[in-house]
Amino acid sequence: MNAGVNHSKIKFTMVFDLDLIKKLYAEMPAKVDAARKLVGKPLTLAEKILYSHLFEPATRAYQRGKDYVDFAPDRVAMQDATAQMALLQFMTCGRSKVAVPSTVHCDHLIQAKTGAVADLATAKDVNKEVYDFLASISDKYGIGFWKPGAGIIHQVVLENYAFPGGMMIGTDSHTPNAGGLGMVAIGVGGADAVDVMAGLAWELKMPKLIGVKLTGKLSGWASAKDVILKVAGILTVKGGTGAIVEYFGDGADSLSATGKGTICNMGAEIGATCSVFGYDEKMGAYLKSTGREEVAALADGIKKYLRPDAEVYADPAKYYDQLIEINLNELEPFVNGPFTPDLAWPISKFAEAVKANNWPEKLEVALIGSCTNSSYEDISRSASLAQQAIDKNLKTKAEFTITPGSEQVRYTIEKDGFLKTFDKIGGVVLANACGPCIGQWARHIDDPNRKNSIITSFNRNFAKRNDGLASTHAFVASPELVTAFAIAGDLTFNPLKDKLKNEKGESVMLDEPKGVELPPKGFSVEDAGYQAPAEDGSKVAVVVKPDSQRLQLLEPFTAWEGTDLKGLKLLIKAKGKCTTDHISMAGPWLKFRGHLDNISNNMLIGAVNFYNEKTDSVKNQLTGEYGPVPATARAYKAAHVGSIVVGDENYGEGSSREHAAMEPRHLGVRAILVRSFARIHETNLKKQGMLALTFANKEDYDKVQEDDTIDIIGLTSFTPGKPLTVVLHHKNDSTDNITVNHTYNEQQIEWFKAGGALNVIRKQFAK
């Protein structure tokens, strides 16, 4: 690692992990060649990266979607909200230092209220205890620390750590952003991060492969964001589950590295394990622009190993489990939403949809930025429209906010004049943080119950996601389209064909946005916000006050009692979409992410109860009264009665937050039984020693009644591939025996028996 600051240019010139990258690239060709021989056919890029990151050399080809495989990722990245619980777990595992390069990024706890400077100062004050904890624990265990204000984790990773052909896990569902630089980067829960930081193998079911062939070239209003908005419409929120999405073709090579990052980032919205692009000139240019010329030169040296084999390009249908083709020449801009990121509308049909569905036409707030769309290219294209508004005497009709992705981007766009342009049209620059994208937004609205519309260049738009208001209709589009809507203030406006009345009463049209991929004068920054860990962490003390309301040291969960589980009470039967936002809300609850007992007071408060169509209102079978979900769970726990949660399709969709698994575990829930799971959430439940079960017959969901007492039979002979039986004891003394499936392998069954994966790790290190 070399570090230095050239004060004449004020460039951040630290190159991280150079020795690691050199070693990986030196070994990769032989590993890939061996894998090709083993598999007996040409390889996709994803396969090359996966097979070159095996924990132990393979002795056979792995079956996609079937075999569990042990991997050795190159690095771990954690954001501050998830890092707290991940590092509280790591503290207990018996290691003195992390085994792989790891970083913490303080981006989630900064609330957007008035503007960047004031909001950052408030966050540093309000979250001091948490920031001090994260800084000291990073210092102690050899973890790089990015201070509050440094930027959003995924943008900072792209600028500093992501590299072609690498493999990374991160405790945030949008970790796949790094696929824009040709990296297999996968979102996981904190317990998975603990495995890798402890030097253990990381387990993943060998992903299926979805190929997306891009031809042609973007032009006009179309952007990289529109590629993934269209793909989300095709695949839906669960179409990518268990799969890596690999983009290829001349159209893929024509996209900027940050544009590729946007597409990979939002792959989380289709449930994909991750998304990835092959190494090309655009990636090389981005590496050079961000001070990593050496990495680009190394990648150029093994370029053919960082792209799919030629035969894959020639006949992709033979090598991918599913193939999608998109012609960028014909791609229309899209607007997706409301309430789900896969409801995709081409701009030519969007106004019609707004009217037909009676969505509020008036646009109240337009927000650009976030980890998905805050690159120099994004900001420059949006700024070109802001400049048009100035030149054509147009005023913005909606509130307009800008969230830079990193201090490096913010400093550079200020230097190049873009922030001044936004300021002239009334744009408010927010802190370099997640802010409104994750509900960290103190929104000003006259009536919180009034139906209203906002549009963002973010990635998710679930109900209540951005501002906590169920009445808000949130739509997702590219930053340039969002900027055009901010100027128009009307969702029925189509900038490709509609005119606007300016201040002089003239009818004017917006020209196509213009932008540049990389800053012509280079990136600059005064203080990137990085803090290196102590050389010797053994003397660093990590302090958690016993009476803290923000942090709580963890007690190990209890081991399985060795019997079938009988007499469980139904806690809630969740109806419809139940994301991790419904299970463990963010927003104001983020402040308790390091305190398991306190944050458990938000457990499932957003889930809709099937029996009364209400949120946070369930029947307590001990008293017959209705009350909040967490309080009811606590009542069962106090009475030494286990409980069970029943859910619908794609349960646990969304964020990687393991709190959605730890809270039910803490409050005495023994099993989650659903029609289907989202990948990360199912793994998180297994890691915490929970039973994650699915109905063998999805219609059996309808047999579960509100007053049921439930048994889970077959646990004394719990084995991979063997279904369990759930007995529903109804109030009228009748019973239903239903078959339930699981995907546990032998190791995961040991996690269940031990009371959680961490208990197994602890035993290993104790030996």
User: Amino acid letter at 250?
Assistant: D
**Cβ-Cβ contacts under 8 Å for 649 (sequence gap 6 or more):** 238, 674, 675, 676
Burial state string for 109-123 with b = 16 or more CB within 10 A and e = fewer than 16:
bbbbbeebeebbeeb
Cβ neighbour number for residue 37 with a 10 Å cutoff: 10
Q: Which 3 state secondary structure label does DSSP give 191?
A: helix
Q: Which 3 state secondary structure label does DSSP give 299?
A: helix
Q: Pull the structure tokens for residue 29.
A: 């060709």
Cα angle 329, 332, 333 (rounded to 5 degrees) comes to 130
* CA distance readout (Å), 472 to 335, 337, 466, 643: 16, 11, 9, 33
**Cβ-Cβ contacts under 8 Å for 645 (sequence gap 6 or more):** 571, 572, 574, 604, 664, 669, 671, 672, 673
Cβ neighbour number for residue 543 with a 10 Å cutoff: 11
Distance CA 509, CA 757 (A): 59
Report the catalytic residues.
107-108, 172, 460, 655, 657
Write phi, then psi, for 124 (nearest 5 degrees).
-65, -35
The residue among 345, 326, 330, 328 whose CA lies nearest residue 477 is: 345
Say how many CA atoms lie within 13 Å of 483 toward its Cβ: 34
Q: Which residue has the tokens 């803290």?
A: 548
Strand ranges, E, within 282-374 = 322-327, 334-336, 344-346, 363-369
Distance CA 403, CA 478 (A): 14
**CA torsion angle for 576, 579, 585, 590 (degrees, to 10)?**
180
Pairing relation of β-strands 75-79 and 102-105? parallel
Distance CA 104, CA 97 (A): 14
Q: Which residue has the tokens 């047999």?
A: 703
Burial state string for 162-198 with b = 16 or more CB within 10 A and e = fewer than 16:
bbbbbbbbbbbbbbbbbbbbbbbbbbbbbbbbbbbbb
Distance CA 664, CA 651 (A): 14
* Helix, strand and coil in the chain, % to nearest 5: 35, 20, 40
